[in-house]
Amino acid sequence: MESSVSDRRTQVRIGIQIPVQVKFPGCDEPVSAISQDISWGGALLLISEPLPKQAGPLKVIFPWKRDERITAHAQLLRARPLQGGDYLIAVRFISLSPRSQSRLERLLKMLSASDETIELDGSSGLVRELEVTVSDADELRHMLRQIANGRHTVTVFDAYEPGQSISLSITGTRDLPGIRLRARVVEVRESRTRVFDWTDLYTLVLEFEHPRKAIRAFVKMLIDQLPEANSHTEGQAELPDWIRSLPLAKPTKADMARGAGNGGEPCALERDFPDALTRLIAGWGDPEAFEIMFRDLVLGDQGQPGGWPTDAWVELELLQNIHDDAYGMSANRNIILKGGRTI
């Protein structure tokens, strides 16, 4: 049995030989196996028994602490017979409970830390991360309701592979909670908007690799803790509909490293304040939207306590000057906005 290219794991594989249990569809009892390697996306297993003919999702059970387990629902990708009647099977994880997912991540981090041949930059080396920042409770509520339906759509500045399993991180500001979910990219399409004709944009459709019941319970718990609706900040309320409906993912450290490899050393905003750049990009090309984003960075909730560092402030002013020269000022502003710089 062979898998397509999109089915193959793209994450770091860590060699580990431990006894595991595999429960095949149509079988009452699990069979014993020995893991050969494990990653965020799946595992390679050695089985000494004939494979059942019935196809379908299977269950892989890894040992954890004492009587605890890591249970992953998986898909059989390929199987290779070996001499002596053994089989090497490759499985792709398709669903883990939040608890098992947390244990899997901890296991991978512990294993990678003990393997000198693996060099990781934080957790981003184990899996590709996609980080989306929400600015208020209404935005997070809308996103959570979409997630509860099993899918989420997000626009990004870097291409992803269909079938790729990723970590979706939703970060809030101030009192909004941070969320991490396991997701799979099921669709990738190029996007075009009137203000983003100068760069590549991609719209991703994500499905979540957690049980639907667990996702809904998790979403309900979070929504119940959020402030009541209609709590947009003034700046958000003024944004055009096309911007408010376009969730823009923030580039990760790995994405920025790839960009820096093509364009030299990152500037102060790229290095220290990528969220500020993401907000300005969202309004680029529209004078009214850009002014709202810039004003929020300088005077609003997105401003820096104590003011902006000099190098970052110089870059913000430069971007504003470039935007004003290229697209003009909004009808509500006839002077360049000032303020926010550390003296």
Interatomic CA distance for residues 52 and 40, integer angstroms: 26
pLDDT higher than 80, residue 331:
no
Q: Which CATH number fits domain 128-250: 2.40.10, 3.40.630, 2.30.30, 2.60.40?
A: 2.40.10
Give the pLDDT confidence of 99-132 residue by residue, as tens digits. Answer: 999 999 999 988 888 776 665 554 456 888 888 8
pLDDT band at 92, cuts 50/70/90?
very high
Give the pLDDT confidence of 2-12 residue by residue, as tens digits. Answer: 444 345 556 78
Q: What is the pLDDT of residue 326?
A: 73
Interatomic CA distance for residues 182 and 123, integer angstroms: 14
Spell out a b/e string for 34-68, using b for 16 or more CB atoms within 10 Å of the CB, else e. Answer: ebbbbbbbbbbbbbeeeeeeeeeebbbbbebeeee
Looking up tokens 């700046």, which residue turns up? 235
pLDDT band at 232, cuts 50/70/90?
very low
- Is 38 within 8 Å of 58 (Cβ atoms)? no
Q: What is the pLDDT of residue 231?
A: 42
pLDDT higher than 70, residue 296:
yes
- Is 206 within 8 Å of 168 (Cβ atoms)? yes
Residues 6+ apart with CB under 8 A from 240: 286, 288, 289
Torsion of CA 81, 108, 217, 142, to 10 degrees: -110
pLDDT higher than 50, residue 183:
yes
Q: How does the average pLDDT of the chain come out, rounded? A: 77
Q: What is the pLDDT of residue 36?
A: 96
Q: What is the pTM of this model?
A: 0.66
CATH class of the domain comprising 5-94: mainly beta
Q: Classify residue 283 as left (phi > 0), alpha (psi -120 to 50) or beta.
A: alpha
Q: What is the pLDDT of residue 120?
A: 54
Q: What is the pLDDT of residue 137?
A: 81
Instruction: Using DSSP bridges, classify how beta strands 165-171 and 58-63 pair: parallel, antiparallel or unpaired.
Output: unpaired
Give the pLDDT confidence of 204-230 residue by residue, as tens digits. Answer: 999 999 999 989 988 888 888 887 765
Stretch among 13-27, 161-175, 299-313 having the lowest mean pLDDT: 299-313
Percentage of the residues of the chain whose pLDDT score is greater than 90: 27
- Backbone CA torsion sign across 233, 239, 242, 247: negative
Give the pLDDT confidence of 150-167 residue by residue, as tens digits. Answer: 899 988 888 888 999 999
Q: What is the pLDDT of residue 265?
A: 67
Q: One fold for both 5-94 and 128-250?
A: yes
Q: What are the residue ranges spanned by the domains of the chain?
A: 5-94, 128-250, 267-327
Q: What is the pLDDT of residue 300?
A: 54
pLDDT band at 246, cuts 50/70/90?
very low
Percentage of the residues of the chain whose pLDDT score is greater than 70: 72
Q: What is the pLDDT of residue 3?
A: 44
Interatomic CA distance for residues 9 and 166, integer angstroms: 11
